Structure 1
Amino acid sequence: MKKLLIALMLAGTFGLTYAQSDYYNDYRRSIADINWQTVAADLLLSATQTNQLNALNNRYRDYDSWNRVYVSNPDRWREDRYYEIERILGREKYTKFKTKYYKGQNPVAVYNRNKNNYKKYNSKQYKEYRKEYKKEYKDHKKKHH
Protein backbone atom coordinates (compact mmCIF):
# COMPACT_ATOMS: atom_id res chain seq x y z
CA MET A 1 0.00 0.00 0.00
CA LYS A 2 2.87 2.36 0.80
CA LYS A 3 4.35 1.75 -2.64
CA LEU A 4 1.04 2.61 -4.22
CA LEU A 5 0.71 5.87 -2.29
CA ILE A 6 4.26 6.87 -3.13
CA ALA A 7 3.67 6.08 -6.80
CA LEU A 8 0.52 8.22 -6.80
CA MET A 9 2.32 11.14 -5.12
CA LEU A 10 5.19 10.94 -7.60
CA ALA A 11 2.80 10.76 -10.54
CA GLY A 12 1.05 13.89 -9.27
CA THR A 13 4.33 15.73 -8.83
CA PHE A 14 5.62 14.84 -12.28
CA GLY A 15 2.24 15.62 -13.78
CA LEU A 16 2.34 19.15 -12.40
CA THR A 17 5.90 19.66 -13.55
CA TYR A 18 5.07 18.45 -17.03
CA ALA A 19 2.06 20.75 -17.26
CA GLN A 20 4.14 23.73 -16.10
CA SER A 21 6.78 23.03 -18.75
CA ASP A 22 4.04 22.76 -21.39
CA TYR A 23 3.09 26.36 -20.60
CA TYR A 24 6.72 27.39 -20.94
CA ASN A 25 7.00 25.53 -24.26
CA ASP A 26 3.95 27.46 -25.52
CA TYR A 27 5.62 30.67 -24.37
CA ARG A 28 8.83 29.80 -26.27
CA ARG A 29 6.83 28.83 -29.38
CA SER A 30 4.99 32.17 -29.24
CA ILE A 31 8.40 33.75 -29.81
CA ALA A 32 10.09 31.22 -32.11
CA ASP A 33 7.12 30.64 -34.44
CA ILE A 34 7.18 34.23 -35.68
CA ASN A 35 9.88 36.03 -37.60
CA TRP A 36 9.97 39.25 -35.61
CA GLN A 37 12.14 41.05 -38.17
CA THR A 38 9.40 40.45 -40.73
CA VAL A 39 6.80 41.75 -38.26
CA ALA A 40 8.84 44.93 -37.78
CA ALA A 41 9.16 45.41 -41.56
CA ASP A 42 5.51 44.55 -42.36
CA LEU A 43 4.13 46.89 -39.70
CA LEU A 44 6.70 49.64 -40.33
CA LEU A 45 7.75 49.68 -36.70
CA SER A 46 10.04 52.35 -35.37
CA ALA A 47 13.47 51.44 -34.01
CA THR A 48 12.09 51.98 -30.49
CA GLN A 49 9.16 49.60 -31.09
CA THR A 50 11.48 46.98 -32.60
CA ASN A 51 13.85 47.25 -29.63
CA GLN A 52 10.94 46.93 -27.19
CA LEU A 53 9.68 43.81 -28.98
CA ASN A 54 13.16 42.29 -28.92
CA ALA A 55 13.48 43.07 -25.21
CA LEU A 56 10.08 41.47 -24.59
CA ASN A 57 11.12 38.37 -26.53
CA ASN A 58 14.32 38.12 -24.48
CA ARG A 59 12.69 38.78 -21.10
CA TYR A 60 12.69 35.14 -19.95
CA ARG A 61 15.63 33.38 -21.56
CA ASP A 62 15.18 30.13 -19.64
CA TYR A 63 12.57 28.11 -17.81
CA ASP A 64 13.75 29.16 -14.33
CA SER A 65 13.42 32.89 -15.01
CA TRP A 66 9.98 32.36 -16.57
CA ASN A 67 8.87 30.03 -13.76
CA ARG A 68 9.83 32.51 -11.01
CA VAL A 69 7.20 34.88 -12.40
CA TYR A 70 4.50 32.40 -13.46
CA VAL A 71 4.87 29.54 -10.98
CA SER A 72 1.53 30.22 -9.28
CA ASN A 73 -0.40 31.06 -12.45
CA PRO A 74 1.25 29.71 -15.62
CA ASP A 75 -1.79 30.69 -17.72
CA ARG A 76 -1.09 34.36 -17.10
CA TRP A 77 1.90 34.55 -19.48
CA ARG A 78 -0.49 34.80 -22.43
CA GLU A 79 -2.35 37.86 -21.22
CA ASP A 80 0.86 39.53 -20.02
CA ARG A 81 2.73 38.92 -23.25
CA TYR A 82 0.01 40.01 -25.66
CA TYR A 83 -0.97 43.00 -23.55
CA GLU A 84 2.67 44.11 -23.80
CA ILE A 85 2.76 43.53 -27.56
CA GLU A 86 -0.43 45.57 -27.95
CA ARG A 87 1.06 48.35 -25.80
CA ILE A 88 4.25 48.40 -27.91
CA LEU A 89 2.53 48.26 -31.31
CA GLY A 90 -0.52 50.37 -30.59
CA ARG A 91 -4.12 49.30 -31.23
CA GLU A 92 -4.08 49.61 -35.03
CA LYS A 93 -0.78 47.79 -35.65
CA TYR A 94 -1.69 45.14 -33.07
CA THR A 95 -4.91 44.43 -35.01
CA LYS A 96 -2.86 44.05 -38.22
CA PHE A 97 -0.43 41.78 -36.35
CA LYS A 98 -3.29 39.55 -35.13
CA THR A 99 -4.87 39.44 -38.57
CA LYS A 100 -1.69 38.38 -40.34
CA TYR A 101 -0.08 36.07 -37.78
CA TYR A 102 -3.08 34.67 -35.91
CA LYS A 103 -5.76 34.81 -38.62
CA GLY A 104 -7.62 37.50 -36.69
CA GLN A 105 -7.88 35.45 -33.52
CA ASN A 106 -6.70 36.67 -30.18
CA PRO A 107 -3.22 35.16 -29.66
CA VAL A 108 -4.18 34.45 -26.05
CA ALA A 109 -6.95 32.15 -27.27
CA VAL A 110 -4.62 30.46 -29.77
CA TYR A 111 -2.13 29.47 -27.07
CA ASN A 112 -4.88 28.76 -24.55
CA ARG A 113 -6.18 26.14 -26.96
CA ASN A 114 -2.72 24.56 -27.14
CA LYS A 115 -2.65 23.82 -23.44
CA ASN A 116 -5.32 21.18 -24.00
CA ASN A 117 -3.41 19.38 -26.74
CA TYR A 118 -1.97 16.99 -24.17
CA LYS A 119 -4.87 15.13 -22.66
CA LYS A 120 -3.35 12.92 -20.01
CA TYR A 121 -6.53 10.92 -19.54
CA ASN A 122 -6.53 9.83 -23.18
CA SER A 123 -2.87 8.99 -23.39
CA LYS A 124 -1.69 5.42 -23.78
CA GLN A 125 0.71 5.88 -20.86
CA TYR A 126 -2.11 6.99 -18.54
CA LYS A 127 -4.33 4.07 -19.57
CA GLU A 128 -1.50 1.62 -18.87
CA TYR A 129 -0.90 3.29 -15.51
CA ARG A 130 -4.60 2.96 -14.60
CA LYS A 131 -4.60 -0.69 -15.64
CA GLU A 132 -1.54 -1.41 -13.47
CA TYR A 133 -3.05 0.55 -10.57
CA LYS A 134 -6.28 -1.47 -10.69
CA LYS A 135 -4.30 -4.72 -10.83
CA GLU A 136 -2.21 -3.75 -7.79
CA TYR A 137 -5.35 -2.69 -5.94
CA LYS A 138 -7.03 -6.06 -6.59
CA ASP A 139 -3.88 -7.95 -5.55
CA HIS A 140 -3.65 -5.90 -2.37
CA LYS A 141 -7.32 -6.55 -1.59
CA LYS A 142 -6.88 -10.32 -2.04
CA LYS A 143 -3.87 -10.41 0.32
CA HIS A 144 -5.57 -8.53 3.13
CA HIS A 145 -9.05 -10.06 3.00
Structure 2
Amino acid sequence: MKKILLTALFLGTFSLGYAQSAYYDDYRRSVTDVNWQTVVSDLLLSTTQANQINSLNNRYDNYDGWNRAYANNPDRWSTDRYAELERIMGRDKYVKFKTKYYKGKNPVAVYNSNKNNDKRYKHMDKKAKSYKSNNGKAHKNK
Protein backbone atom coordinates (compact mmCIF):
# COMPACT_ATOMS: atom_id res chain seq x y z
CA MET A 1 0.00 0.00 0.00
CA LYS A 2 2.84 2.37 0.86
CA LYS A 3 4.48 1.69 -2.50
CA ILE A 4 1.29 2.56 -4.37
CA LEU A 5 0.87 5.77 -2.37
CA LEU A 6 4.48 6.80 -2.91
CA THR A 7 4.25 6.03 -6.62
CA ALA A 8 1.07 8.09 -6.97
CA LEU A 9 2.66 10.97 -5.04
CA PHE A 10 5.80 10.81 -7.17
CA LEU A 11 3.85 10.74 -10.45
CA GLY A 12 1.61 13.60 -9.34
CA THR A 13 4.59 15.73 -8.35
CA PHE A 14 6.46 14.91 -11.55
CA SER A 15 3.52 15.68 -13.82
CA LEU A 16 2.73 18.95 -12.00
CA GLY A 17 6.38 19.99 -12.24
CA TYR A 18 6.43 19.12 -15.93
CA ALA A 19 3.26 21.11 -16.62
CA GLN A 20 4.60 24.12 -14.76
CA SER A 21 7.94 23.93 -16.58
CA ALA A 22 5.99 24.17 -19.86
CA TYR A 23 4.46 27.41 -18.58
CA TYR A 24 7.92 28.63 -17.60
CA ASP A 25 9.16 27.80 -21.10
CA ASP A 26 6.35 29.98 -22.50
CA TYR A 27 7.35 32.74 -20.10
CA ARG A 28 10.99 32.55 -21.19
CA ARG A 29 9.97 32.61 -24.87
CA SER A 30 7.91 35.73 -24.21
CA VAL A 31 11.13 37.35 -23.01
CA THR A 32 13.58 35.95 -25.56
CA ASP A 33 11.47 35.81 -28.74
CA VAL A 34 11.24 39.59 -28.94
CA ASN A 35 14.17 41.88 -29.67
CA TRP A 36 13.46 44.39 -26.92
CA GLN A 37 16.06 46.91 -28.15
CA THR A 38 14.15 47.09 -31.43
CA VAL A 39 10.86 47.51 -29.56
CA VAL A 40 12.34 50.39 -27.55
CA SER A 41 13.64 52.15 -30.65
CA ASP A 42 10.55 51.45 -32.82
CA LEU A 43 8.15 52.77 -30.20
CA LEU A 44 10.43 55.64 -29.16
CA LEU A 45 10.31 54.61 -25.52
CA SER A 46 12.13 56.68 -22.92
CA THR A 47 15.20 55.49 -21.06
CA THR A 48 13.07 54.99 -17.97
CA GLN A 49 10.62 52.81 -19.91
CA ALA A 50 13.49 50.81 -21.43
CA ASN A 51 14.96 50.23 -17.97
CA GLN A 52 11.58 49.13 -16.63
CA ILE A 53 11.16 46.65 -19.50
CA ASN A 54 14.66 45.28 -18.93
CA SER A 55 13.89 44.92 -15.23
CA LEU A 56 10.63 43.14 -16.06
CA ASN A 57 12.46 40.79 -18.44
CA ASN A 58 15.03 39.95 -15.77
CA ARG A 59 12.50 39.48 -12.96
CA TYR A 60 12.41 35.66 -13.17
CA ASP A 61 15.69 34.58 -14.69
CA ASN A 62 15.35 31.04 -13.34
CA TYR A 63 12.60 28.51 -12.79
CA ASP A 64 12.79 28.59 -8.99
CA GLY A 65 12.02 32.31 -8.77
CA TRP A 66 9.22 32.02 -11.29
CA ASN A 67 7.81 28.96 -9.51
CA ARG A 68 7.74 30.77 -6.15
CA ALA A 69 5.56 33.45 -7.71
CA TYR A 70 3.31 31.25 -9.89
CA ALA A 71 3.28 27.77 -8.35
CA ASN A 72 -0.38 28.02 -7.36
CA ASN A 73 -1.56 29.56 -10.63
CA PRO A 74 0.94 29.13 -13.48
CA ASP A 75 -1.51 30.57 -16.03
CA ARG A 76 -1.31 33.97 -14.34
CA TRP A 77 2.21 34.82 -15.54
CA SER A 78 1.02 35.99 -18.95
CA THR A 79 -1.73 38.23 -17.63
CA ASP A 80 0.65 39.80 -15.11
CA ARG A 81 3.44 40.27 -17.64
CA TYR A 82 1.38 41.90 -20.37
CA ALA A 83 -0.53 44.12 -17.94
CA GLU A 84 2.85 45.33 -16.68
CA LEU A 85 4.10 45.92 -20.24
CA GLU A 86 0.95 47.92 -20.99
CA ARG A 87 1.50 49.99 -17.85
CA ILE A 88 5.13 50.69 -18.79
CA MET A 89 4.52 51.50 -22.48
CA GLY A 90 1.18 53.23 -22.17
CA ARG A 91 -1.99 52.13 -23.93
CA ASP A 92 -1.24 53.52 -27.41
CA LYS A 93 2.31 52.19 -27.66
CA TYR A 94 1.25 48.86 -26.21
CA VAL A 95 -1.39 48.50 -28.95
CA LYS A 96 1.31 49.23 -31.57
CA PHE A 97 3.60 46.66 -29.92
CA LYS A 98 0.83 44.05 -29.85
CA THR A 99 -0.09 44.72 -33.49
CA LYS A 100 3.47 44.39 -34.74
CA TYR A 101 4.73 41.48 -32.64
CA TYR A 102 1.55 39.48 -32.05
CA LYS A 103 -0.40 40.41 -35.20
CA GLY A 104 -3.05 42.17 -33.13
CA LYS A 105 -3.79 39.12 -30.99
CA ASN A 106 -3.69 39.23 -27.25
CA PRO A 107 -0.24 37.87 -26.24
CA VAL A 108 -1.91 35.84 -23.50
CA ALA A 109 -3.96 34.01 -26.13
CA VAL A 110 -0.86 33.45 -28.28
CA TYR A 111 0.96 31.56 -25.55
CA ASN A 112 -2.14 29.76 -24.27
CA SER A 113 -2.99 28.56 -27.79
CA ASN A 114 0.21 26.52 -27.77
CA LYS A 115 -1.25 24.38 -25.00
CA ASN A 116 -3.82 22.97 -27.45
CA ASN A 117 -1.43 22.32 -30.32
CA ASP A 118 -0.15 18.88 -29.43
CA LYS A 119 1.94 17.89 -32.45
CA ARG A 120 1.45 14.18 -31.81
CA TYR A 121 -2.16 14.46 -32.95
CA LYS A 122 -1.88 17.05 -35.74
CA HIS A 123 -1.95 14.36 -38.44
CA MET A 124 -5.32 13.16 -37.14
CA ASP A 125 -6.94 16.49 -38.05
CA LYS A 126 -6.11 16.02 -41.74
CA LYS A 127 -7.49 12.50 -41.69
CA ALA A 128 -10.69 13.64 -40.01
CA LYS A 129 -11.22 16.40 -42.61
CA SER A 130 -10.55 13.96 -45.44
CA TYR A 131 -13.00 11.47 -43.98
CA LYS A 132 -15.70 14.13 -43.60
CA SER A 133 -15.27 15.41 -47.14
CA ASN A 134 -15.33 11.88 -48.62
CA ASN A 135 -18.45 11.00 -46.68
CA GLY A 136 -20.12 14.19 -47.82
CA LYS A 137 -19.35 13.42 -51.49
CA ALA A 138 -20.56 9.85 -51.13
CA HIS A 139 -23.90 11.04 -49.79
CA LYS A 140 -24.29 13.58 -52.59
CA ASN A 141 -23.80 10.92 -55.27
CA LYS A 142 -26.63 8.72 -53.97
TM-score range normalised by the length of the shorter chain: 0.7 to 0.9
1:125 aligned residue:
none
1:1-145 superposed matches below 5 A: 3-118=3-118
Give the distance between the partners of 2:69 and 2:13, measured in 1 at CA.
20
Kindly provide the CA deviation profile for residues 105-145 of structure 1, in whole angstroms up to 9, marking residues without a partner as x: 0001111112334589x7xxxxxxxxxxxxxxxxxxxxxxx
- The list of structure 1 runs, each at least 4 consecutive aligned residues, that deviate by more than 6 angstroms after superposition, is none
Paired residues of 1:43 and 1:93 also in contact (CA < 8 A): yes
TM-score, scaled relative to structure 2 = 0.77
Provide the TM-score with structure 1 as the length reference. 0.76
Q: Aligned partner of 1:110: which letter?
A: V
Report which structure shows greater RCO (CA 8 Å, sep ≥6): 1
Deviation at 1:100, TM superposition (A): 0.4
Residue 118 and residue 5 in structure 1: after superposition, are their counterparts in 2 closer, same or farther (change >3 A)?
A: farther
State the Cα deviation string for residues 28-66 of structure 1 (Å, max 9, x = none): 000000000000111111111111100100111111111
SS, match of residue 105 in structure 1: coil
Q: What fraction of aligned residue pairs are identical, expressed as a percent?
A: 69
- Report the RMSD for the aligned CA atoms in angstroms: 2.1
Number of aligned pairs?
Answer: 121
* Paired residues of 1:23 and 1:74 also in contact (CA < 8 A): yes
Q: Is the 8 A contact 1:70 1:76 kept in 2?
A: yes
Q: Distance in 2 between matches of 1:67 and 1:5?
A: 25
